[in-house]
Amino acid sequence: MARQLSGKKVKLQSSDAKEFDVAIEFAQQSVTIKNMIEDLPDGEDNAIPLPNVTAAILEKIIAYCDYHWHHPMPITDEKKDERRTDDIIPWDRDFCNVPQQTLFELILAANFLDIKPLLDLCCKTVANALKACKDPEDIRKYLNIKNDFTPEEEEAARKENEWCLEK
Amino acid sequence: MESAAKRRKLTSSAGVEKAADEGRDSEAFVVSGAHPYGVKPWGNFFFDGGKREDAERDRTEGLGLFAMLEDDLILDVFVYLDSATTVANLGMASKMMWVFTSEEEIWKELCLNEFEGDWRFEANWRRTYVKRRAPQFEFPNDPEDIPFFPKPFYSDILFHSWQCATIDLSKFTGTDNVPRRSNLSFEDFVKEYGIPNKPVIITDLVPKWPAFKEWTREGLIEKYGDIEFQIGRASQKLKDYMAYVTAPPREDTPLYLFDNDFGEKAPEMLKEYEPPVYFQEDYFKLIKGGDRPSFRWILVGPPRSGSTFHKDPNYTSAWNGLIYGAKKWILYPPDVVPPGCFPSEDGFNVTTSISVTEWFVNFYKETKKKDAFKPYECVQKPGELLFIPHAWWHQALNFEESVAVTQNVVDRQNLVNVADFLKKKKKQDLWNKFSTELEASDPDLWQWLQKELEVKEKAAKAAAGPTRSN
């Protein structure tokens, strides 16, 4: 798909004070940034501060917006399809092949920046990872959760959920 | 062998804080006991005298990486876990996770997605899902029991969700200022309410309907129990739905049976009620078959079900006859936006994600403020029929199990507005069909309508002011 960038750029500033010069088309995939740009007085060249997003995460998000601007995905109208977790494209899968801490930082940033496809993607990835866990201990390891059940309580909770094993 | 895990009953308020209202303004409302798992709103934190770091640490240990997210975002992410087994495993990771994954909405979604309407409600949505999926499984405890000693924590979202699901609704049902009329002639109705476009309740029509006697809970189940009615995005047999209604469900937004096809599914029902004499003129009748917009519904719902603020489509007016139960209504005239609502530009769509209960909890008090616009309010009782004038904002809350019939009409009082609206729509098929039929069936009325539309158009142009030449 031969789409042409306008050449117009905006400056985005991460929480750790790093500035990124970004094509406006990429930046506008964030509804939050799009609205901020519209509110900027004309001709202003100041950087848009993003206090909730670190440079490392912002860099990844810009790469995401870059790729997806060049490779637009078909828009799905079906609410059911939005929640499908088995249709992640290879580039997105590689993009999400990061430590879970980073995934959650991406969720936080995508939510703040209001980039729905990215939020969907990261949530689906986390969901798939949790689905792959075979038991609560696996989940605790993945999420770094501390077990605060006594052995008896854990057993009682397990009994409540024995139906999971029934076919 | 006795389990060492202590058990707390969900309904017990023994030794638990009444702190639900502490720190808020004196408009404290009564909540039925305290949150079963000891969840408190952050507003309580100041009074509890604990350390912020301790509460934060508890949250981080209990939720792990999810602690990075706000509670509502956590629940949003859970929606992607379309696997009950995963939700259950997640819930066994920690006590806090157990509470988060016990939210009714999660299990309701799982149930509806996997089974649509093919389930029978059992105490709560988790049990309903499990019963449907593993019918042989026997829960070791009662629904009110918790298999472990709860560890209280703070969450505005979870507390608010529970509060809306359990708050006593009767505190919102005091005000009633809609006039009641009986023995009202058609001419008087048109003169006093139709033309001025104002609400009124007619008290002597519904009791004459056979439905008023026949449509009891048992009567409906007996006659129509096996028919599948629309309950949102699924269909379900009425007898199964009634089991849900009578449980009763403890949710903020219960499923509501709202069926616009009941006349086709259960034609007998049409013989058991009659549109009131004031509303028998309905020009949309001229539109044949499937092209006619939905115009009649049967409504069945448990306490807390209802419809949030909206205007009825296409400028139609409506009437609503209550067979049994009790409905609280709030009505605002067309040009006054109700508190907490953000209408679209054409005024017809409202973006509000809050439920009816939430509106009452958060916004109802706005209507009581000194300089606030006072809406019409009423508590519709069995046998009463409410007239909802066209383009009025209205909201309805069933605060008892309720059954009602409602229809929308296009009559002489709103015909001009309806026509004007349809003509301006992007999609013209409805206008084309309607105008063709109307002109053919009543040429005089058609002429009158054209004149009125011209007058309206001129008035609108005049109000808009001189056009700029650019």
Contacts of B91 in chain A (CB under 8 A): 157, 161
> DSSP secondary structure string, B78-121?
HTT---HHHHHHHHTS-HHHHHHHT-HHHHHHHHHHHHTT----
pLDDT, tens only, B172-185 = 988 999 999 999 99
Asked if B102 and B109 count as a contact pair (C-beta separation under 8 A), the reply is: no
Which residues 73-102 in chain A show a CB within 8 A of chain B? 83, 85, 100-101
**B408/chain A closest Cα distance in angstroms:** 29
pLDDT for position B465 = 76
Encode A72-91: b = buried (16+ Cβ within 10 Å), e = exposed.
eeeeeeeeeeebebeebeee
Closest residue of chain A to B88, computed from CA coordinates: A161
Is the minimum CB–CB distance between A132 and chain B shorter than 8 Å? no
Is the minimum CB–CB distance between B91 and chain A shorter than 8 Å? yes
Residue B375: phi and psi, rounded to 5, are: -80, 170
pLDDT, tens only, B347-363 = 667 766 578 999 999 89
Angle at Cα B101 formed by Cα A97 and Cα B78, nearest 5°?
35
Choose between B26 and A112: higher pLDDT: A112
Placement of tokens 């990844």 in the chain: A60
Q: Kindly state the tokens that stand for B38.
A: 């000891």
Encode B436-453: b = buried (16+ Cβ within 10 Å), e = exposed.
ebbeeeeeeeeeebeeeb
pLDDT for position B144 = 84
Which site among A96, A98, A145, A154 would you substitute to test the B interface, given the most B Cβ atoms closer than 10 Å to its Cβ? Answer: A145
Segment B259-284 shows an average pLDDT of 94
pLDDT, tens only, B391-443 = 999 999 999 999 999 999 999 999 999 999 999 888 899 999 999 999 999 99
| Cα end-to-end span (Å), chain A | 48
Question: What is the band of B7 on the pLDDT scale with cuts at 50, 70, 90?
Answer: very low
What's chain B's average pLDDT? 89
| Cα end-to-end span (Å), chain B | 87
Instruction: Choose the closest CB to B147 out of A131, A157, A164.
Output: A157
Rounded to the nearest 10 degrees, the angle between the axes of helix B71-78 and helix B104-115 is 20
> DSSP secondary structure string, B263-293?
HHH-GGGGGG----GGG---GGGGS-GGGSP
pLDDT for position B50 = 85
Residue B225, CA distances (Å) to B16, B78, B169 in order? 43, 35, 29
Encode B324-340: b = buried (16+ Cβ within 10 Å), e = exposed.
bbbbbbbbbeeeeebbb
- Strand extents, DSSP E, B296-384: 296-301, 306-310, 317-324, 327-332, 376-380
pLDDT, tens only, A21-43 = 999 999 999 999 999 888 877 66
Asked whether the beta carbons of residue B94 and residue A149 sit closer than 8 angstroms, the reply is yes
Asked if A152 and B5 count as a contact pair (C-beta separation under 8 A), the reply is: yes
ipTM value for the complex = 0.93
Rounded to the nearest 10 degrees, the angle between the axes of helix B356-363 and helix B156-166 is 110
pLDDT for position B1 = 30
Percent of chain B with pLDDT strictly greater than 90: 75
CA distance B191 to B185: 10
